[in-house]
Amino acid sequence: CREMGEWLAKDERNVVAVHCKAGKGRTGVIVACFLIYSGVIYDDKSAPADLARTALLTFLERRGQGVKYPSQQRTCVYFAEVVCNWIRRHRVVGVHEGGGGAADAADEASGDGGAAGPLRVRVRSMSDGAGAAVDAS
């Protein structure tokens, strides 16, 4: 997720293509986790399971098909728990406008301040229907 975020933050024209055989399960897990990590889906008052559910629904709405296997859905919950625990452990109280999550929390904890500005992420289906593209704008 960190490398995806760094790549997207370098230039607003940069795109990350996430692909698997059908473009639903593994693709959805990675995209949902990135939405949480980047702060697009993050609320410090929400439980990790709610964050994961919102991220997975966001992918489903944009992609038209979603993550259907419970084990893959649980992976998103586990990832959200890691992100929430990291933020609490580092006592990050605020995040930058338009962002949130571990990406901005790491910048704030390190004193970097998120110089690249807020990250807005757009998820769209790829033309072959078997993946998703993530870009920042």
Structural domains counted in the chain: 1
Higher pLDDT, 108 or 30: 30
Higher pLDDT, 65 or 136: 65
Q: Determine the pLDDT at residue 72.
A: 95
Structure-block tokens of residue 57: 């629904």
Q: For 47-61, 62-76, 100-114, which range has the lowest pLDDT when averaged over its residues?
A: 100-114
According to DSSP, the residues that pair with 108 across neighbouring strands are: none
Give the domain extent around 91.
2-136
Give the closest residue to 2 by CA, choosing from 126, 86, 62, 74.
86
Give the closest residue to 37 by CA, choosing from 10, 45, 29.
29
CA 66 – CA 86 distance, rounded (Å): 27
**pLDDT average, residue stretch 108-116:** 44
CA 16 – CA 132 distance, rounded (Å): 9
Evaluate if residue 116 carries a pLDDT over 50. no
* 12-60 confidence digits (pLDDT tens): 888 888 888 887 899 999 999 999 998 888 887 889 999 999 999 998 8
Instruction: Report the catalytic residues.
Output: 20
**This prediction's pTM:** 0.71
Q: Determine the pLDDT at residue 123.
A: 59
Give the closest residue to 23 by CA, choosing from 137, 100, 136, 133.
133
Q: Determine the pLDDT at residue 32.
A: 93
CA 113 – CA 1 distance, rounded (Å): 18
Structure-block tokens of residue 101: 């999550």
